[in-house]
Amino acid sequence: MADDGLNRIGAMLEELGARFELVVEAVSGFGGKVDKLKDEIFGQFAEVGSQIRFISDQIGENRAGVNALRADFGAEMVRLNESLGKTRVEFREQVASSEANIRGAISAPPDGSGAEIPALDGEIGRDVVESLRKLSAEIKQTSKVVTTLSRKFERFDDRMTVQVKDQDQRLKKIEGGGRRR
């Protein structure tokens, strides 16, 4: 009987050992799944971090581009204002000079016949025409510069729009990838 009890205890111990091995095997498999899930989560965080760095770099580049464009635009505006101011001053000086010449010519003939006036009239006309040509040339040049700057700004705006759309798609892809898993 004692042998029978020992045999039973031995059988029970063998059965408990087999069950313990199953438990150990199940826990080991569960631990592997947890490690795999942990690695996947860390991978997702690393991907999000790299995307954020990429977006930050793009924002920095775009800001630098905007600042450069503003500086170019500001410098061009200053140049245009100086040029227009110079033309205005020259025009005023020419008008004042022509007026002084006319007054001088009118007061110069003692007989009042006005014989020198037609010659001055032609000179005034040439001065006015010359001033108008200069002003017209400056206006044309200003128009060209403004058109060029406008095109540059539109191209920059288009580039920015494309980059923003690309970033939105990347973010949606990242967000969508995280939800599916």
User: Where along the chain do its domains lie?
Assistant: 2-180
Angle between helices 2-107 and 117-180 (to 10 degrees): 170
Output the pTM of the full model.
Answer: 0.40
Q: Is the pLDDT of residue 15 over 60?
A: yes
**Quick one: pLDDT at residue 48?**
87
**Quick one: pLDDT at residue 29?**
73
131-167 in b/e form (b: 16+ CB < 10 A) is beeeeeebeeebeebeeeeeeeeeeeeeeeeeeeeee
